[in-house]
Amino acid sequence: MSNEHTPLLAHGVCGLSADNAVCGIGESEGTGEASTPNAVPRKLNTFFGVMVPTVLSMFSIVLFLRTGFVVGHAGLLQGLVMLLVAYTIISLTILSICAISTNGAVQGGGAYFMISRSLGPEFGGSIGLMFFLAKVCACGVYVLGLVEALLDIFGQDPASSSALRVLPQGYWYTVLYSSIVLLLVLMVCLVGAHIFARTSFLILLVVTISLLSIYISPLALTTPLKFLITHQGPGNHTLTYNASYTGFNVTTLKDNLGSGYTVDYSTGKVMSFATVFAVMFTSCTGIMAGANMSGELKNPSAAIPKGTIIAVLYTFIVYVLLFILASSTCERTLLAQDYGFFQRINIWPPFVTIGIYCSALSAAMCSLIGASRILHALALDQLFGFPLAPAAITSRSGNPWVAVLYTWGLAQCVVFAGQLNAIAGLVTVFYLLAYAAVDLACLALEWASAPNFRPTFQVFSWHTCLLGILSCLVMMFVINPVYSSASIVLLLLLLLFLHYRSPTSSWGYISQALIFHQVRKYLLMLDVRKDHVKFWRPQVLLMVANPRSSCQLINFVNQLKKGGLFVLGHVKLGDLDTLPSDPVQQQYNFWLSLVDKLGVKAFVDLTLSPSVRQGTQHLLRITGLGGMKPNTLVLGFYDSCTPEDYFLQDPAFCESKGSGGDDFGVDLPSLQAHFPPVRHVESPRWLTPEEYVGIISDAIKMSKNVCLGRYFFQLQGEGMGTKTDGAARIIDVWPLNLLQPSSTSAASVDVCSLFLLQMACVLNMASRWRHARMRIFLCVEAESSDQGWVVKEETYRELLRKLRIRASIKIVPWDSVVQLYGQKQTQDPELEGLTKPAQALSEDFLSAVNRMLMEHSAEAAVRFLYLPRPPAHSSQSQKYLSQLEAVTYGLGPTLLIHGLTPVTCTEL
């Protein structure tokens, strides 16, 4: 494929496009979006492009503003447990990220690109949008954290007379300040990611200096400090707390080991393990910051794994040391009641203040840029259509400024939450769901055993992927079951939406790889030696000459298959020795598009053969696999009727519905042009009567059941959009051989008769026939002296009761018909020993049988008739067909059936 970052294909897929004869020939796969006119030049290396943004995103607001909150409420031990759980989850996810990012080219869009190209458009688009929302919410969290830090220094505190406290406080003021900060972030992001990437290194230096000052301060401040902390309580009451800094003290460390969950002074809610973990986990949401910059990285496949792992190890060590430092030097009251306590105990408080502002601001900018890149990638792939189309617009330098504006607008909505802790749970749930999706992508690739999944990063397995998924899902519901359930429901709705749109891409579908892998296993388990009559179902091969005249029969057989195999077979006449290439291969796409338009659940199997008979033999032998092979052959009837063109009747095949192509490169005019016009009166037949009857004989010799369908162009209500349940329909079954009256005198029922009953029952179970009435007609000689027909009727009623078939039995006296059968029938001497259907039945007898059928089955929607064995000698083929045509003339939709397979048992 020429471009891995192209929009969803409107015409053609790999191997089908005329422009790309061979998959992979053309432009380099690695060029990606760099091949576009507005492509972003790749300039960032591992350190600046991955490590720096990842470290800054993981420090964010938790490093300076929530370390005391976590230790103060959860204690050191539970805080370390939270840290260990969080980093275990992200470590498992990082293994999956490294595996996917080292398995082929990674383009712009980061995590979304990796997921979509691994799982396909449905999963990729839905999870990508969820990850985008997570980044938007995270941006709002970081902005609120920055405003919180600003108000700690400059906010008007009623208990303080400091000249610096000049900013009014309150909910709407918080929203106003957040909007101003967010506007500043927007201005920086509109300039472009490269300037931010360069300035982010300076920001990291500032944050590092601030961190060093925190670690050094306990060594310089050797004397204890007392603080008076005030908060605005309920009812405009001022709450005052006495807090202490003790320096390194064993007693302080012991007091802070256990948990002490209290009311959070910013939200007024009692904290718990889940709520504190949700806030703490926001520090772990930056592991994909480097991956989100994949479009700007020189070598993303190498930079993303290396940079992400180093950054995570570095931040983990920093957090562990900070937790130990805080719990060893500060009393619990100071930790729990002052988010910015690091400023109070620093040798020079502005160090911490500057660190807070820099880390929060850089994390907000990183989230806004990362989210905009994801949105830009979604817009380029055209998964969600018009609403996201403007987000594909970029500046001359390649900056997706419209996507940045989209992201800024949504982040502006997030800041209306007013409090950081209030939305921390939602952010954490979104991120956990995104991480679970990355693990799922890697797990699916590993389970699919695709030969092309060869990541250079090998430190992972399906066990780590599965453990990562389970841990993410468990922690989601521990944090907030409501948010978790809602996010999963939203994800499923997005999946259904994208599945309904049926986008097709050149990315590949992991679902197809998994299905292939599993189906192969199940086919090997499907042992034909274990077949049992009670689990028999029709597995049909329907031979189609021209679907223009066969669509009604195709739809009918789709109802008749009862969850069994349904294959459309077609024989193209020709000899491969005289052709430069196989003409059949190019036809599959048109037939599959026909199946899609008809809405039938069928496979397609085509073959090239010098004759239709030989081609049908090929298909009967080789169609299917293992235990899934056709057991029933269905043919259209061989008569002189001029077929009707179904394409001219069904609106789905009309130009008025638009000539836009399907997702596999077949538009409506091409589909119509591919199938030739229907045969008219003067058209020569490709199939002779001898060859047609020979096909029936071949199928019987191969122990296949045979069905011949006639007049199915008259059957209405079998189309894809039909909602009928068949309440007004009647199914008529004539289970006895009408061309051999002598066989009807026997009270027993042969295999073919039982097969007719079974096929009628199968049809009666179909969705559009479930309420149809079924009638069984028994032809009897009422004037017979032995009254054997009474016994026959009772035998059939008992048989229907044992087989649990709901049908009414109709007794048809046909003495007058039998009288015409008889003594005058002659047989050629050379045909002695042949089967009785080869007899030259009189026209009077055949007409009488036809009149009897017309009289009793005129109102039926479909009729099931007994198909006699074909003659053994080919010279009798025309006579055999003439007899069948005479009997069924003018009947309406009729299925003549010859069954060889035992399909039911009265002992079941």
**Do 217 and 345 meet the contact criterion of CB atoms below 8 Å apart?**
yes
Higher pLDDT, 511 or 247: 247
Q: Is residue 620 part of a domain?
A: yes
- Give the total residue count for the chain: 908
At 31 the pLDDT is 33
Based on the domain organization, do 559 and 486 belong to the same domain?
A: no
Neighbours of 461 (CB within 10 A): 14
**Do 306 and 47 meet the contact criterion of CB atoms below 8 Å apart?**
no
Of residues 272, 720, 772, 219, the one with CA closest to residue 479? 272
| Residue 76 burial (C-beta neighbours within 10 Å; 0-12, 13-18, 19+) | buried
pLDDT grade for 32, boundaries at 50, 70 and 90 = very low
- Which residue segment(s) compose the domain that 834 sits in? 533-898
| Ramachandran class of 322: left when φ > 0, alpha when ψ lies in -120 to 50, beta otherwise | alpha
Higher pLDDT, 758 or 684: 758
Based on the domain organization, do 249 and 365 belong to the same domain?
A: yes
pLDDT grade for 647, boundaries at 50, 70 and 90 = confident
Statement: residue 11 has pLDDT above 90: no
Alpha-helical runs (H) found in 391-509: 401-414, 420-448, 462-479, 481-501
Element (H, E) at 622: helix 612-622
**Do 827 and 839 meet the contact criterion of CB atoms below 8 Å apart?**
yes
At 879 the pLDDT is 92
In this structure, what token pair is assigned to residue 52?
Answer: 């720096």
Q: What CATH number did the domain enclosing 349 receive? A: 1.20.1740.10
Based on the domain organization, do 258 and 183 belong to the same domain?
A: yes
| Tens-place pLDDT, residues 655-673 | 544 445 555 557 777 788 7
At 665 the pLDDT is 58
Of residues 839, 840, 846, the one with CA closest to residue 891? 846
Statement: residue 896 has pLDDT above 90: yes
Return the SS3 of 567. Answer: strand
| Residue 450 burial (C-beta neighbours within 10 Å; 0-12, 13-18, 19+) | middle
| Tens-place pLDDT, residues 130-149 | 888 888 988 988 898 888 88
Cα separation, 253 vs 866, whole angstroms: 92
C-alpha of 215 from chain center = 51
DSSP character at residue 584: T
Q: Is residue 774 part of a domain?
A: yes
At 691 the pLDDT is 94
From residue 595, alpha-carbon distances to 10, 110, 154, 506, 604 in Å are: 19, 37, 70, 22, 8
Based on the domain organization, do 450 and 587 belong to the same domain?
A: no
| Tens-place pLDDT, residues 384-411 | 878 888 888 888 877 888 999 999 999 9
Q: Is residue 672 part of a domain?
A: yes
Cα separation, 97 vs 113, whole angstroms: 11
> In total, how many domains does the chain have?
2
Element (H, E) at 751: helix 751-765
Return the SS3 of 81. Answer: helix
Terminal CA-CA length for the chain? 55
CA angle 23, 24, 26 (to 5 degrees): 115
Element (H, E) at 218: helix 193-220
Cβ-proximal residues to 36 (8 Å cutoff; 6+ apart), any chain? none
* Residue 734 one-letter amino acid: W
Q: Parallel, antiparallel, or unpaired for β 705-710 and 632-636?
A: parallel
DSSP character at residue 822: S
pLDDT grade for 10, boundaries at 50, 70 and 90 = very low
| Tens-place pLDDT, residues 275-332 | 999 888 888 877 877 776 666 778 877 888 889 999 999 999 999 999 999 999 999 9
pLDDT grade for 4, boundaries at 50, 70 and 90 = very low
Statement: residue 44 has pLDDT above 90: no
In this structure, what token pair is assigned to residue 680?
Answer: 């008219």
Average pLDDT over residues 785-812: 79
Q: Is residue 513 part of a domain?
A: no
* Residue 595 one-letter amino acid: V
Cα separation, 101 vs 80, whole angstroms: 30
At 719 the pLDDT is 65
Statement: residue 744 has pLDDT above 60: no
**Do 64 and 355 meet the contact criterion of CB atoms below 8 Å apart?**
yes
Q: Mean of the per-residue pLDDT values for the chain?
A: 81
Question: What percentage of the chain has pLDDT greater than the value 70?
Answer: 84
DSSP character at residue 690: H
Statement: residue 832 has pLDDT above 50: no
Return the SS3 of 720. Answer: coil
Q: Is residue 752 part of a domain?
A: yes
pLDDT grade for 789, boundaries at 50, 70 and 90 = low
At 640 the pLDDT is 79
pLDDT grade for 734, boundaries at 50, 70 and 90 = very high
Average pLDDT over residues 334-352: 87
In this structure, what token pair is assigned to residue 585?
Answer: 């291969």
Neighbours of 493 (CB within 10 A): 11
| Residue 161 burial (C-beta neighbours within 10 Å; 0-12, 13-18, 19+) | exposed
Q: Is residue 13 part of a domain?
A: no
Neighbours of 533 (CB within 10 A): 12
Return the SS3 of 157. Answer: coil
Domain boundary among 479, 501, 523: 501
At 27 the pLDDT is 34
Statement: residue 244 has pLDDT above 60: yes
Based on the domain organization, do 133 and 232 belong to the same domain?
A: yes
The most confident of the ranges 142-156, 560-574, 802-816 is 560-574
Cβ-proximal residues to 39 (8 Å cutoff; 6+ apart), any chain? 33, 398
At 339 the pLDDT is 84
Cα separation, 664 vs 662, whole angstroms: 5
Higher pLDDT, 884 or 46: 884
Based on the domain organization, do 435 and 537 belong to the same domain?
A: no
Domain boundary among 501, 519, 548: 501
Average pLDDT over residues 39-52: 74
DSSP lists the bridge partners of residue 387 as: none
Average pLDDT over residues 786-790: 64
Cα separation, 686 vs 770, whole angstroms: 38
pLDDT grade for 224, boundaries at 50, 70 and 90 = confident
Based on the domain organization, do 461 and 540 belong to the same domain?
A: no
Neighbours of 571 (CB within 10 A): 25
DSSP character at residue 530: G
User: Token match 């010279």: residue?
Assistant: 875
| Ramachandran class of 520: left when φ > 0, alpha when ψ lies in -120 to 50, beta otherwise | alpha
At 312 the pLDDT is 93
Cβ-proximal residues to 859 (8 Å cutoff; 6+ apart), any chain? 730
In this structure, what token pair is assigned to residue 440?
Answer: 């799922």
Cα separation, 322 vs 72, whole angstroms: 13
Domain boundary among 482, 501, 520: 501
Lowest mean pLDDT among 236-250, 274-288, 583-597, 819-833: 819-833
Average pLDDT over residues 674-685: 75
Cα separation, 469 vs 440, whole angstroms: 7
At 33 the pLDDT is 38
Based on the domain organization, do 625 and 766 belong to the same domain?
A: yes
Alpha-helical runs (H) found in 480-571: 481-501, 510-525, 551-560
At 788 the pLDDT is 62
Which string of DSSP letters, residue by residue, matches 226-270? EEEEEEE-GGGPEEEEEEEE--S-HHHHHHTTS----B-TTT--B
At 85 the pLDDT is 92
Average pLDDT over residues 681-689: 75
At 664 the pLDDT is 58
| Tens-place pLDDT, residues 501-542 | 766 666 766 777 778 888 888 888 887 877 777 778 899 999
At 460 the pLDDT is 84
User: Token match 């008076």: residue?
Assistant: 228
Statement: residue 340 has pLDDT above 90: no
At 127 the pLDDT is 81
* Residue 847 one-letter amino acid: S
pLDDT grade for 702, boundaries at 50, 70 and 90 = very high
DSSP character at residue 529: G
Neighbours of 336 (CB within 10 A): 26
**Do 663 and 10 meet the contact criterion of CB atoms below 8 Å apart?**
yes
| Tens-place pLDDT, residues 87-120 | 999 999 999 888 887 776 666 666 677 777 777 7
At 657 the pLDDT is 45
Based on the domain organization, do 279 and 167 belong to the same domain?
A: yes
| Ramachandran class of 457: left when φ > 0, alpha when ψ lies in -120 to 50, beta otherwise | beta
Of residues 380, 411, 447, the one with CA closest to residue 125? 380
Of residues 188, 100, 474, 428, the one with CA closest to residue 286? 428
At 904 the pLDDT is 73
Based on the domain organization, do 219 and 345 belong to the same domain?
A: yes
Alpha-helical runs (H) found in 266-299: 273-281
Average pLDDT over residues 26-35: 34
Based on the domain organization, do 495 and 561 belong to the same domain?
A: no
Statement: residue 479 has pLDDT above 80: yes
Q: Is residue 521 part of a domain?
A: no
Statement: residue 625 has pLDDT above 90: no
Question: What percentage of the chain has pLDDT greater than the value 90?
Answer: 28
Return the SS3 of 734. Answer: strand
Higher pLDDT, 563 or 433: 433
Higher pLDDT, 496 or 60: 496
Of residues 364, 333, 326, 408, the one with CA closest to residue 150? 364
DSSP character at residue 632: E
**Do 646 and 548 meet the contact criterion of CB atoms below 8 Å apart?**
yes
Neighbours of 901 (CB within 10 A): 18
At 41 the pLDDT is 57
Statement: residue 835 has pLDDT above 70: no
**Do 345 and 377 meet the contact criterion of CB atoms below 8 Å apart?**
no
Based on the domain organization, do 546 and 426 belong to the same domain?
A: no
Statement: residue 182 has pLDDT above 50: yes
Q: Is residue 519 part of a domain?
A: no
User: Quick check: pTM over 0.95?
Assistant: no
pLDDT grade for 349, boundaries at 50, 70 and 90 = confident
